[in-house]
Structure 1
Amino acid sequence: MSYGSKLNNAVLDQKITPLVGVFDMLSASVAASYYDGFFVSGFGFAASYYGLPDIGFIAWPDMVNFVQRLRLAFPTKHLLVDIDDGYVDPEVACHVVEHLEWIGASGVILEDQKRPRRCGHVDGKQVLPLEEYLEKLDLVLRTRRNLLVVARTDAVEEEEILRRAKALAQTEADVILVDGVRTIESIKQIRGIIGDKPLLFNQIAGGKSPRLSLSELQALDVNAAIYSTACLAAAQDAMYAAVAELVELDGRLSESSVGVRESLALLEKNISRHHDKKEVLHLWSDA
C-alpha cells in the first residue's frame, strides 16, 4: 500500500489522526517516540533552515531534500508536507508533487494564498481568485497518483470562508483545511458545508484558533489535526532557558537529563540499515 493510501485510510478511520509539526531531523526523532505521523511545517522549516519567517522564502528543492531525509529515517511514519501555494506556478506545484510522491511523502497541503504569503494565523493574508486556485488544485489532483491532497483556504471573512470551503469540498481533494478558524461555531459551520469530506484542523501556539483536545475535535467531526509549531515553540523556549542559565553560571554547564549518551541513543535509531533489526549499533562506548 502506498504512503498516500495509508494516510488516507488513517484520516478516514473513526479515530482522529494527529500529525505533529517537525522542523528538523532532531525534532522528528523526538516526535517519532510518541506519534505515528508528522506534519512538515513550512513555518518550522523556514525558521530552522533559513532563520527567516514563513512569508515565501522556501525554495522547493530544499523542502524536497528535507522530506527525503525524513523518509529514509522514518520509513513507517505519515509525512504530510506543507507546500504553501505550490511555489507560485501551477506547473511548479505539479513538479513538486511528483518529486514528493516519488520520494515517499504521504500527502501535501496546497493553499489558496497569493504572494506575499503569510502564516495562516497572522494578519495580512490575501487569497487568489477562487477559480485561479481551483485550476491549480485540479492540475495537482490530476498529477498525483496516490498522494493525499489537502485543499486549504486562507480566507478570513466568514461568508468567503464558507463559499470556498463548499467549492473545495466539491473537488477531488481528499481533505479540507480552513486555516486560522477562530471559533468552535465556525468549525461546526464548516463541517456542515463540506458534508462528508474529511476535515483537518490546525492548532498553532499563539495562533487564532481555539486550543482543543483531540477528543473535543473528534466530537466536532474533525478527522485530523496538525500541530505546526509544537516542537518549534518548545525548542525555542528550552534554548532560551539553557543559554540564559549558561550566562548566569559563568559558562559552567549544569546537570541535564540529556547528554551525549542520550542523544546518540535517540539518533542511532534513525540509521536506515538498522530499522528491521531488534538491536541497533551503539555508537557510545565507555572505553
Structure 2
Amino acid sequence: MRNATKLKSLVQERRAATVPGAPNALFARVIEDLGFEAVYVTGAGIANMHLGAPDVGLTTVSEVAQTVSAIADAVDLPLIVDADTGFGNAVNMVRTVRLLERAGASAIQIEDQVFPKKCGHFNGKAVIPAAEMVQKVKAAVDARHDADVQIIARTDARAIEGLDAAIDRARAYIEAGADMTFVEAPRDFAELARIGAELPVPQVANIVFGGKTPDPGREALAGNGFAIVLYANAALQAALKASREVLSALKVDGRLDAVADRLASFEERQAAVAKDAWDAMEAKYNGG
C-alpha cells in the first residue's frame, strides 16, 4: 500500500496515533526503527537544526522540500509535512503543494497565520482573514495530484480570536475541502474535547513540551476523536539537552569517560544509518 493511502486509512481510525517529529533523516530513521506509524516533518525543527534559528518564518519552501526528499529516501513511512502558510498566497500554495507532494509528502499541513509566521506556541501571532485562508485551502486541494494526500488545515486563531472563532474557521476550511483540521494551542482538556466533538473530520493535536497545550495522553485524545497526536520536537529537545551535557563535560574534563553512558555506541550509530545495508550494496556492485 502506498504511504499516502496508509496515512489516509490511519487517520480515519481516529485512535490518536502518536507521530513524533523529525527535522532530518537521521531522526526519521530512529522513529521508523522504534515502530512508529508516521513521521512529522517539523518546520520548527528544520529552522532550529538547519538554520540555528527560531521558528519565525525564516525557512523557504526549497529547504523544506529538500528535507522531505532526504527523509523520504531514508524511511518508508508516511510523512506529514509542515508547510507553514504555503509560503505566500493561494498561487504560491499551488507550487508548494506540488513540490512537497513530489518530494514525498503523504499529508501537507497549512496554516492561517500572517506570513512570515511564528511557532504556534509563541506569543504575538496574527492570522489572515478566514476568507483568504479558504482560498488557500481550495488551492491546496486542487494542486495535489494524488487524492489520498491529506490536506491538513491549521488555524492559529485560538490565541487571537478565541476558541469559538477558531472552531468556526476550522469548519470553513473543512467546507473548502480540507481532509483534516488542526486547532493550534488549545489551553486545557475541555478545549481539546470541544474541538474533537464539534468538528466532523479527523483532528490533529500538537503537544509541545513546555508549550500551551497540556498532554492528557493518547487514550484521552483517542476518546475525543483525535486522529493524530504530534510530538513535533521531542527528539530535537532530547538531542539538544544531551548534546549540551556531553559537550559541557568534554569542555571541562577533556575526555568523555564521565558521560560515556549518555552516548550511543559506535555500533548503535552505524545501525541507526543502516550501514549493514550499504555494506551489502557495496559488496554486490563490487562483485563481492
With the length of structure 1 as denominator, give the TM-score of the two structures.
0.89
Task: Report how many residues are paired.
Answer: 274
Distance 1:65 1:187 in 2: 34
The residue aligned with 2:208 is 204
The residue aligned with 1:258 is 264
Displacement of 1:260 after TM fit? 2.4
8 Å Cα contact 2:19/2:231 also seen in 1: yes
- Structure 1 unaligned runs (5+)? 283-287
Identity over aligned pairs, percent: 28
- Please say if 1:127 is aligned against 2:133: no
8 Å Cα contact 1:21/1:228 also seen in 2: yes
* SS class of match (1:21): strand
Distance 1:234 1:215 in 2: 24
Report 1:193-232 matches (<5 A): 193-195=198-200, 197-232=201-236
Displacement of 1:14 after TM fit? 4.9
Report 1:1-287 matches (<5 A): 1-34=1-34, 35-74=36-75, 76-144=76-144, 145-146=146-147, 147-155=149-157, 156=159, 157-195=162-200, 197-249=201-253, 251-254=254-257, 255-256=260-261, 257-268=263-274
8 Å Cα contact 1:20/1:230 also seen in 2: yes
Kindly report the root-mean-square deviation, in angstroms, between the aligned alpha carbons of the 2 structures.
Answer: 2.0
Higher helix share: 2
Displacement of 1:281 after TM fit? 7.2
Distance 1:166 1:270 in 2: 49
8 Å Cα contact 1:268/1:280 also seen in 2: no
Distance 1:50 1:219 in 2: 38
Instruction: String of CA shifts for 1:7-56, please: whole Å, max 9, x gaps.
Output: 11111125332211011222222222221211001110100111111111
Instruction: Go from structure 1 to structure 2 and tell me whether the alpha carbon gap of 1:191 and 1:262 turns closer, same or farther (over 3 Å shift).
Output: closer
8 Å Cα contact 1:110/1:151 also seen in 2: yes
Instruction: Go from structure 1 to structure 2 and tell me whether the alpha carbon gap of 1:243 and 1:11 turns closer, same or farther (over 3 Å shift).
Output: same
Runs of 4+ in 1 over 3 A off after TM superposition: 279-282
Displacement of 1:91 after TM fit? 1.8
Instruction: String of CA shifts for 1:83-131, please: whole Å, max 9, x gaps.
Output: 0000013222211211221232111100000034110011111000000
Distance 1:207 1:280 in 2: 44
Instruction: String of CA shifts for 1:124-170, please: whole Å, max 9, x gaps.
Output: 11000000010011011111133111010000212311221222232
| Residue range with higher mean Cα deviation, 109-118 or 7-16 | 7-16
Distance 2:198 2:212 in 1: 21
Displacement of 1:240 after TM fit? 1.1
* SS class of match (1:110): strand
